[in-house]
C-alpha cells in the first residue's frame, strides 16, 4: 500500500478531500503513489490520495473500468488480466529509472498522461480516458460533465486533466476504455544499425500493413519491433516483416511470450538508464528528428522509442540539454537530476508565450488561489 506519512493530509473520500482543499491556507503538494520524486520541487503541505482507492465499476463485456485515483496500478492490471484484458497504452513504471519506492497509482497515470511503447500504435492514456472526477482549487467537486460546478461548460475536462500534473485539480476517480490482451506477441531484432538507418527501418515497419505495436532503438544494443495479435496472424506478419527488412541486415524473431514481455518492459521503463550517475531527460520530437537529437548529443546514452519520437537521454550532471537541442521542435522534460539542476533548468520545457497565456487562464479558472502544485509547470 502507498505510504501515508504522519504529517500528510490524507482524505478517505471525495467529500473529505474537498473539505481539505477549501480549508487549505497555503500551497498543497499533491502526492499519488510517490514514485516520481517531484514533491521536493514544490512548497506546501502534502495532500495524499493514497486512501482514495478501489475499483468502483468493472464491466469486462463493455470494456469499461472505473477506479478511484489512489488505486494501485498493479491492482487494476491484475483485475484486467483475470479477464484477459489490459490497459492498451502500457503505462510506465518510473521506479527502476528513478530509484524510487512507493506504488504507481491510476490517478498518477492520468495526471502525467503516462504512456508506453504501444502509444505509437494505439495512442496515449488520454485517448482511452472516458471520464474524470476531481476537486478543483476552490474545493468544488467536478465531473467530466460538470455535474457540480456549472462554469466549466466548453472545456474537455478529460483532455485537460490528462497531463496536468495536479495543477488544475486533484483527481478522485477515473474511467477508462480497456481492450483484450493479445493471444501472442513477437519481437523482431536487428543488430548493429546506425541511428539514422534504425529510424528508417522503424518508419518502414510502422507504415507497413503489418500492425507494429512497438518500435525502439538502443544505439548500444539493437533495433526492436513488436507485433501482437492472434498467433497465426503474428507468425504471418513477422515473416512478412523479415522479408521487408532483409536489406537492412539479419532479422532475428523472438516468440517466447515472457521474453517478449520482459524486453518491452525494459523499453517501457527505460531500464537502460537506471542508476544515479547521470541526469535523465525525456525528449519528445517528430520521429524523423530523433536522428538530429542523437547527432547533437554525441556523448549521451540514448534510448529511442515510438519510432524515434521519444528519446531518453542520459547526460553528465548539470548539462543544459535544451540549449544543445535549440531549434529542434518538441520538448524536453528533466526526469532525473539534482534539486539544484531542477531549479536551474525547470522540470518542464518553457512554454511559448501564447501557450503560457492559455495555461495561466486555465489555472486561474480551476485554481484561482494558486494552491495546487504551485510552480511545478
Going from N- to C-terminal start, the domains of the chain cover 1-181+347-377, 184-268, 272-345
Q: Is the domain covering 272-345 a CATH 3.30.70 domain? A: yes
Q: What pLDDT score was predicted for residue 79?
A: 98
Is the predicted pLDDT of residue 154 greater than 60, yes or no? no
- Nine-digit cell string for 138: 476552490
**What sign results for the dihedral spanned by CA atoms 54, 60, 61, 63?**
positive
State the Cα–Cα distance between residues 112 and 95, nearest whole angstrom. 15
Q: What pLDDT score was predicted for residue 41?
A: 67
pLDDT band at 177 (very low <50, low <70, confident <90, very high): very high
Cα–Cα nearest to 334, from 351, 316, 322, 352: 322
Is the predicted pLDDT of residue 182 greater than 60, yes or no? yes
Mean pLDDT of 101-112: 92
How many Cβ atoms are within 10 Å of 331's Cβ, its own excluded?
Answer: 15
How many angstroms from the chain centroid is the CA of residue 177? Answer: 17
Classify 188 as helix, strand or coil. Answer: strand
State the Cα–Cα distance between residues 221 and 93, nearest whole angstrom. 22
Mean pLDDT across the chain: 91
For 209, residues 6+ apart whose C-beta sits below 8 A from its C-beta are none
Mean pLDDT of 248-259: 95
**Rounded to whole angstroms, what are the CA distances from 125 to 63, 253, 259, 303, 373?**
15, 29, 25, 21, 21
pLDDT top residue among 120 and 37: 120
Is the predicted pLDDT of residue 59 greater than 80, yes or no? yes
pLDDT band at 151 (very low <50, low <70, confident <90, very high): very low
Is the predicted pLDDT of residue 371 greater than 50, yes or no? yes
Look at the chain and count its residues. Answer: 377
Q: What pLDDT score was predicted for residue 1?
A: 45
Mean pLDDT of 264-286: 95
For the packed helices 231-245 and 195-206, what is the interaxial angle rounded to 10 degrees? 140
How many angstroms from the chain centroid is the CA of residue 150? Answer: 30
Is the predicted pLDDT of residue 150 greater than 60, yes or no? no
Mean pLDDT of 253-276: 95
Mean pLDDT of 165-176: 94
In the block, which residue shows the cell 549521451? Answer: 300
Contact (Cβ atoms closer than 8 angstroms) between residue 176 and residue 64? yes
What stretch of H or E contains 174?
strand 169-177
State the Cα–Cα distance between residues 275 and 7, nearest whole angstrom. 30
Contact (Cβ atoms closer than 8 angstroms) between residue 281 and residue 308? no
Q: Is the domain covering 1-181+347-377 a CATH 3.30.465.10 domain? A: yes
Q: What pLDDT score was predicted for residue 297?
A: 97
Q: What pLDDT score was predicted for residue 37?
A: 67
> pLDDT by residue (tens digit) across 64-100?
999 999 999 999 999 999 999 999 999 999 999 998 8
Q: What pLDDT score was predicted for residue 147?
A: 35
Is the predicted pLDDT of residue 247 greater than 70, yes or no? yes
State the Cα–Cα distance between residues 117 and 73, nearest whole angstrom. 17
Contact (Cβ atoms closer than 8 angstroms) between residue 160 and residue 255? no
Q: What percent of the chain has pLDDT over 90?
A: 82
State the Cα–Cα distance between residues 109 and 88, nearest whole angstrom. 13
Fold for the domain defined by 184-268: Alpha-Beta Plaits (3.30.70)
Q: What pLDDT score was predicted for residue 145?
A: 41
The answer to whether the pTM exceeds 0.85 is yes
Would you say the CATH fold of 272-345 matches that of 184-268?
A: yes
Amino acid at each position: 500500500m502507498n505510504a501515508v506519512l504522519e504529517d500528510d493530509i490524507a482524505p478517505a473520500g471525495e467529500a473529505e478531500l474537498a473539505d481539505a482543499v477549501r480549508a487549505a491556507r497555503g500551497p498543497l503538494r499533491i502526492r499519488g503513489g510517490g514514485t516520481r520524486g517531484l514533491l521536493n520541487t514544490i512548497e506546501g503541505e502534502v495532500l495524499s490520495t493514497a486512501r482514495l482507492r478501489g475499483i468502483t465499476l468493472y464491466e469486462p463485456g463493455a470494456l469499461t473500468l472505473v477506479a478511484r485515483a489512489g488505486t494501485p496500478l498493479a491492482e487494476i492490471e491484475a483485475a484486467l488480466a483475470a479477464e484477459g484484458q489490459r490497459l492498451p497504452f502500457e503505462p510506465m513504471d518510473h521506479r527502476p529509472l528513478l530509484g524510487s519506492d512507493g506504488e504507481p497509482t491510476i490517478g498518477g497515470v492520468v495526471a502525467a498522461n503516462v504512456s508506453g511503447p504501444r502509444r505509437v500504435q494505439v495512442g496515449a492514456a488520454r485517448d482511452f480516458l472516458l471520464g474524470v472526477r476531481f476537486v478543483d482549487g476552490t474545493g468544488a467537486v467536478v465531473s467530466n460533465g460538470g455535474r457540480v460546478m456549472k462554469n466549466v461548460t466548453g472545456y474537455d475536462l478529460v483532455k485537460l486533466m490528462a497531463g496536468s500534473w495536479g495543477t488544475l485539480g486533484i483527481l478522485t476517480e477515473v474511467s477508462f476504455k480497456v481492450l483484450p490482451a493479445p493471444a501472442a506477441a513477437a519481437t523482431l531484432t536487428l543488430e548493429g544499425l546506425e541511428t539514422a538507418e534504425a529510424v528508417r527501418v522503424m518508419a518502414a515497419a510502422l507504415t507497413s500493413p503489418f500492425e507494429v505495436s512497438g518500435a525502439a532503438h538502443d544505439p548500444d544494443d539493437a533495433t526492436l519491433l513488436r507485433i501482437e495479435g492472434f498467433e497465426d496472424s503474428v507468425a504471418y506478419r513477422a515473416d512478412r516483416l523479415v522479408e521487408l527488412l532483409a536489406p537492412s541486415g539479419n532479422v532475428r524473431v523472438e516468440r517466447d511470450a515472457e521474453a517478449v514481455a520482459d524486453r518491452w518492459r525494459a523499453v517501457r521503463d527505460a531500464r537502460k538508464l537506471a542508476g544515479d550517475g547521470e541526469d535523465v531527460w525525456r525528449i519528445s520530437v517528430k520521429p524523423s528528428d530523433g536522428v538530429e537529437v542523437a547527432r547533437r548529443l554525441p556523448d549521451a546514452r540514448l534510448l529511442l522509442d515510438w519510432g524515434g519520437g521519444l528519446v531518453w537521454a542520459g547526460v553528465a550532471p548539470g548539462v543544459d540539454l535544451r540549449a544543445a537541442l535549440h531549434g529542434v521542435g518538441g520538448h524536453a522534460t528533466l526526469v532525473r537530476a539534482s534539486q539544484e539542476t531542477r531549479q536551474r533548468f525547470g522540470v518542464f520545457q518553457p512554454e511559448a508565450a501564447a501557450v503560457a497565456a492559455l495555461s495561466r487562464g486555465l489555472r486561474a479558472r480551476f485554481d484561482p488561489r494558486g494552491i495546487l502544485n504551485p510552480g511545478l509547470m
